[in-house]
Amino acid sequence: MRGSNRLKLGVFGVNGGAAFTNHPDRFQATWDNNARIAKMADRLGIEALVSASRWKAFSKDNHYSGDLFETFTWAAAAAAVTERISIMSTVHLSVIHPIIAAKAAATVDLISKGRFGMNLVCGWYREEMEMFGSQMLGHDDRYGLADEWVQVFSRLWDEQAGIDFKGDFYDLKKAIIQPKSPYPKPILMNAGGSDRGREFAAKQCDVAFIIPQDPRPAALKKQVDHYRDFAREKYGKEIQVWMSSYVVQRDSMEEARAYVEDYVVTRGDDEGVDAFIANNIGNAKTMPEGVIEKMKFAIAAGYGGYPVLGTAQDIAGTLAMMSEAGVDGVLLTWLDYEAGLANFGESVLPLLEQAGLRDPASPLG
């Protein structure tokens, strides 16, 4: 994540899968295939392996959308079988106490020799919060808690003596973690899209994760520049700006689009997508019909990611466009992660290297 590649890459959601579909190719997460994918991504020089996090399924109990490995234990295991890739846990700040997170993070950081990071989420799924007996805070209060959470986490990481902390959400006496990690504080990522969320990401995090408001290159560049300039002007800091994309690679653009249509529309999980929308977007019923339909399609295709489709040349071209717009990194998902990542490594990565966006991966070990 701190490397020099102009366009950094990550694999997102391999601890559970990213598509809402009944297609037979839908990814079934096991530890064995997670380990294989982690090792492959590491060997290919991919910068990050980023988990998704879910405590309760959408739609109904035992729906596959709840079948995600817990992210700290997953990260420790992934760290143990890799050598250089950053391992990032998605962490629900509203239900994971910062002392527990700091202790777990230090443990993974020691296992990985400083490769651990976190994707911080404030929590928006009410049933998950209620499952823990936690109150669902209002939007701004969730970010107020997040600000205190990062303050506590950072002090626990940096300070040798026990700390006292009193805020609106935490009241701690002589809090400490042992053993300490000797490495710098983990890289922090957040997908703050609102004004308050953007402020939190710019102030507290190293990576801002954006969802394009307009897919056109000029509009994407404007959105990226706006986020980066905000961090520079208000907090005097440089942040990376990342996106998420679902990848479908085929011998032609027509074949790729047909495959997406098959797994999203013909065999899509409408019930799961509708439940996701209902829980995530409070005013969904009042939004224009076309907006909702596009949103549903993207969620079913790959957790709302930006489409990266077609031949290896098409995919490399789309990623190059993102880089030209100022995007520092892209988290990638596939319906079939293992085959998708293998094809990507064989045919797309060399094109990105030829374009000067990435250096060839050095051999491991």
Residue ranges and CATH numbers for the domains of the chain are 8-136+180-354 (3.20.20.30)
Joined tokens for residue 54: 């879910």
Q: d(Cα 180, Cα 54) in Å, to the nearest integer?
A: 28
pLDDT at position 365 over 90:
no
Cα dist from 251 to 24, 43, 262, 310, 347, whole Å = 21, 25, 16, 7, 12
Contact between residue 333 and residue 18 where contact means Cβ atoms under 8 Å apart = yes
Average pLDDT of the residues of the chain: 95
Condensed to tens digits (0 to 9), the pLDDT of residues 56-81 reads 999 899 999 999 999 999 999 999 99
Higher pLDDT, 285 or 236: 236
At residue 251 the predicted structure's pLDDT band, cuts being 50, 70 and 90, is: very high
User: How do residues 174-212 score in pLDDT, each as one tens digit?
Assistant: 999 999 999 999 999 999 889 999 999 999 999 999 999
Cis peptide before 179 (omega within 30 of 0): yes
Residue 362 structure tokens: 């050095």
Dihedral sign computed on CA atoms, order 290, 294, 196, 329? negative
The token duo for 151 is 């303050």
Which pLDDT band, with edges at 50, 70 and 90, does 54 fall under?
Answer: very high
Which amino acid makes up residue 261? E
- Reply yes or no on whether the pLDDT at 300 is more than 90: yes
Beta bridge partners of 91: 120
Can you give the pLDDT at residue 288? 55
287 pLDDT more than 70: no
The reported pLDDT for the residue numbered 278 is: 85
Q: What would the mean pLDDT of 316-345 be, rounded to a whole number?
A: 98
**Cβ atoms within 10 Å, residue 62:** 9
Model confidence at 213: pLDDT above 90? no
pLDDT at 317 > cutoff 80: yes
CA 196 to chain centre: 19
Report the pLDDT value the prediction gives residue 295, as an integer from 0 to 100: 86
**What confidence category does residue 286 fall into, taking pLDDT thresholds of 50, 70 and 90?**
very low
